[in-house]
Amino acid sequence: MLETTPVPVDSSRRRRSLPHLVTWIVAVVLAAASSLWMWHRLGSPTREVAWAEDSGVFLDERLQLGAVPSLLHPYEGYLHLVPRIVVDAAVALWSIEDYAVVVSALSCCVIGLVGGAVFVLARDVVTSVPLRALLGVIPAITPMGVVEIAGNTANLHWYMLFLAPWVFAFRPRSWWSSAGLAAAALAITLTEIQAALFVPLFLFGLRSRRGIPVVVAAVLGLASQGVATLLDPRLRTPSDASPLDIAAGFLAQPLAGSWNGDVRSIGVTIVHHGWWVVIVPAILVVAVLVLGLVARSGASRWFIVVLGVAPAVLWVAALRVNAVPSTFTEWNEASFLRFGPYRYAAAGSMFLLAAVVVAADVCIARGRVVQPVLGWVLVASVVAAGVLNVHAETRRSDGPVWSKQVHQQRATVCADDPDGTVRVEAAPEAGRWTADVPCARFDR
């Protein structure tokens, strides 16, 4: 059983903790609820459509290389262990006809597991159990998550990245929990190279011998990512966005999108009324995080810093490495309506909402009236964001539906040539992310 603690905490906070068994029961319930909630948010036909690398890379390489060789096969300079495990399970245990819907379901389950793990690992950072539960469901309720990054393996690395700081900062109290955390650290780092951003959090556990396996696992995973990058470097086309463009984009997408997933309408509002409509909320968010910093020391303070800075770092890195349209200061109404939310923004939103929840917990635990009221207002804003953004138009909503293609191909190509191979398409671009599936797979 995984039992963790970051830094020494006072006895009053320990007394407010849930018993270990209850903690794990709540974690399981949260994991199941988060998985089902994300599945509901995806809706149909989104969950029946394969997305990008799920088909044209991970499935193709699983069929060509086999189960074990494909697990650590580099793609675009990186390793993607957890996504490949999900794809392997979908291929091995279910019919290829159900591949898209199974991958969507398993990906939702991974999101739920991440949320449940965060709930357990955050018990000495967030004192309030209800707020810790809210923290755990953030991966499932983040407004922009459903647009692109949820329900597919191509973007599972963002959720593993969200788990990284909670795993890295805690030192195990037993060798069993050390083994569990080491396995989690290895899975994270073999899936997401950007987890290196949170390596300094291992400083919390340097005094514990039981933390050594966790550090070693993380270093091993990141070293493997480095080797993969050297052997199979990713082609990069640097962005031409200026620092002002990057800052403006951050306000219009990760920050504003944390409470309203419809960033297109936010962009239109900016064009009509000016950038102050996102600058003022940004000032308020920064003020809240600063208040949390000065109100408490220890792990909570460090996590407010880490969770508050991570979205900006990820956004800057994403726009510097990827040549996506990002001259936000020059965008007009048509530009905002055309491009919509970026997946990097959805990932940053998770960290930003988590930082707000941690700050809210600090406010509620201090003062008599003003700070607790402010804390509950922050909590209400996060809950409202999740409730009011349940559904959104996803980038997979226009198909093509995987099972329908399989039926058609089986009735035509495979009927005439049982030893042949058919091409099954995935979103978002027709013809780009096709998978070559042997007809023999349809009978398994």
**Extents of the domains making up the chain:** 14-388, 403-443
Residue 227 token pair: 């080797």
Write the CB contacts of 170 (distance below 8 Å, at least 6 apart in sequence): 4, 5, 6, 121, 181, 204, 205
Per-residue pLDDT tens over the stretch 64-119 = 999 999 999 999 889 999 999 999 999 999 999 999 999 999 999 999 999 999 99
Alpha carbon distance, N-terminus to C-terminus of the chain: 37
Closest to 298 in 3D by CA, of 51, 3, 93, 8:
8
Write the CB contacts of 206 (distance below 8 Å, at least 6 apart in sequence): none
Alpha carbon 249 to its chain's center: 20
Q: Which run of H or E residues covers position 35?
A: helix 20-42
Give the whole-angstrom CA distance, residue 122 versus residue 26.
13
Give the whole-angstrom CA distance, residue 180 versus residue 173.
11
Q: Which run of H or E residues covers position 136?
A: helix 129-141
Give the whole-angstrom CA distance, residue 341 versus residue 321.
17
Give the whole-angstrom CA distance, residue 111 versus residue 131.
18
Please give the chain's pLDDT, 444 residues, in tens. Answer: 444 444 444 434 444 557 788 889 999 999 999 999 999 999 999 999 999 999 989 999 999 999 999 999 999 889 999 999 999 999 999 999 999 999 999 999 999 999 999 999 998 789 899 999 999 999 999 999 999 999 999 999 999 999 999 999 887 888 888 899 999 999 999 999 999 999 988 876 566 788 889 999 999 999 999 999 998 887 777 677 889 999 999 999 999 999 999 999 999 999 999 999 999 999 999 999 999 888 776 778 889 999 999 999 999 999 888 878 888 999 999 999 998 899 999 999 999 999 999 999 999 987 778 889 999 999 999 999 999 999 888 999 888 999 999 888 888 888 888 888 889 999 998 778 999 998 888 766
